[in-house]
């Protein structure tokens, strides 16, 4: 376990590379959580996992959920399914098409829960989804790249815009069960960032005082790009559970990453979070940049 913890710490270094958002102080404060999150899942006798994702960008062309988060969720669903862990996924009505594409990209039969924002929207109430997750015996909830409540109770994008009209308060689902909470984020405004001192986000992140999410997580993973956090989490679990390594990591390849990116872009469609366009980039970074980070992660696991 000692060597596993050392290698997981190395993975944490790789996935927390700052791509220009100023997350160094945030990732430093969250150090060790990749190991604790992986251990929480790996040591549970029967993990049943709920995943929350979907960050809607109303000013995109077309307005859509970004591809950071759903791609990571697709890897998580595929890895958990292969390892024999039960999993389901939740989002809200504006992100529903991208979430369906996410599940299709994962090639699993995952249960999808969609929260309606307005009366007449597709989906259910957060209360009813919470009950379903409790009844299902969910043991762990993972939020990946999901905008959460700021200090005034409103979800805000990186520009500080209030996106309440497009974002159901899935923070309530995240915090409403007797389950371990794991969060992956890269910008300070995602569910889970409330585990950090708000002054860190205010000082280091643009518009930090406005956008900082107040919703905490027991295990917060700060990544340069949230999808990287999914690779890191699967790799870390594989190090703690080496007998399930191949199953957990079956899609964590550059080829599958590109296939998932193209599939979610086409069938969502999803958009790049920086340009707001449906292109082969995530967070403004071209595919090869992500592939290089992925290779470093996998080299550490090998």
**What one-character-per-residue DSSP string does 19-83 give?**
SSS--HHHHHHTTTHHHHHHHHHHTSSS-EEEEE---EETTSBS-EEBSTTHHHHHHHHHHHHHH
Rounded Cα–Cα distance for residues 107 and 95 (Å): 19
Rounded Cα–Cα distance for residues 154 and 180 (Å): 24
Digit-by-digit pLDDT tens for the chain (302 residues) are 688 899 999 999 999 999 999 999 999 999 999 999 999 999 999 999 999 999 999 999 999 999 999 999 999 999 999 999 999 999 999 999 999 999 999 999 999 999 999 888 899 999 999 999 999 999 999 999 999 999 999 999 999 999 999 999 999 999 999 999 999 999 999 999 999 999 999 999 999 999 999 999 999 999 999 999 999 999 999 999 999 999 999 999 999 999 999 999 999 999 999 999 999 999 999 999 999 999 999 999 98
Rounded Cα–Cα distance for residues 191 and 169 (Å): 10
Handedness of CA 129, 169, 228, 195 (dihedral sign): negative
8 Å CB contact between 35 and 242: no
Map out the domains of the chain with their CATH numbers: 2-301 (3.90.1640.20)
Rounded Cα–Cα distance for residues 108 and 81 (Å): 7
pTM of this structure: 0.98
8 Å CB contact between 225 and 23: no
Rounded Cα–Cα distance for residues 65 and 118 (Å): 18
Rounded Cα–Cα distance for residues 121 and 73 (Å): 23
């Amino acid at each position: 376990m000692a060597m596993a913890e050392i290698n997981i710490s190395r993975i944490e270094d790789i996935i927390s590379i700052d791509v220009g958002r100023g997350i160094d102080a945030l990732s430093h404060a969250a150090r060790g959580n990749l190991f604790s999150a992986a251990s929480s899942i790996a040591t549970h006798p029967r993990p049943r996992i709920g995943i929350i994702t979907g960050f809607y960008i109303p000013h995109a062309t077309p307005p859509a959920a970004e591809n950071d988060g759903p791609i990571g969720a697709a890897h998580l669903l595929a890895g958990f399914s292969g390892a024999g862990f039960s999993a389901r996924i939740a989002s809200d009505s504006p992100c529903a098409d991208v979430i369906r594409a996410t599940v299709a990209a994962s090639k699993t039969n995952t249960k999808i829960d969609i929260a309606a924002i307005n009366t007449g929207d597709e989906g259910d109430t957060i209360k009813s989804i919470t009950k379903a997750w409790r009844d299902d015996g969910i043991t762990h909830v993972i939020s990946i790249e999901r905008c959460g409540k700021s200090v005034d109770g409103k979800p805000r994008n990186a520009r500080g815009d209030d996106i309440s009209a497009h974002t159901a308060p899935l923070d309530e689902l995240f915090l409403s069960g007797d389950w371990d909470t794991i969060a992956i984020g890269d910008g300070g405004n995602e569910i889970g960032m409330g585990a950090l001192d708000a002054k860190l986000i205010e000082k280091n992140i643009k518009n930090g005082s406005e956008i900082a999410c107040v919703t905490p997580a027991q295990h917060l993973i700060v990544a340069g790009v949230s999808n990287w956090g999914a690779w890191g989490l699967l790799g870390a679990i594989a190090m703690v559970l080496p007998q399930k390594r191949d199953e957990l990591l079956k899609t964590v390849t550059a080829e599958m990453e590109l296939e998932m990116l193209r599939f979610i872009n086409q069938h969502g469609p999803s958009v790049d979070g920086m340009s707001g366009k449906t292109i082969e980039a995530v967070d403004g970074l071209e595919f090869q940049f992500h592939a290089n980070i992925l290779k470093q992660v996998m080299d550490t696991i090998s």
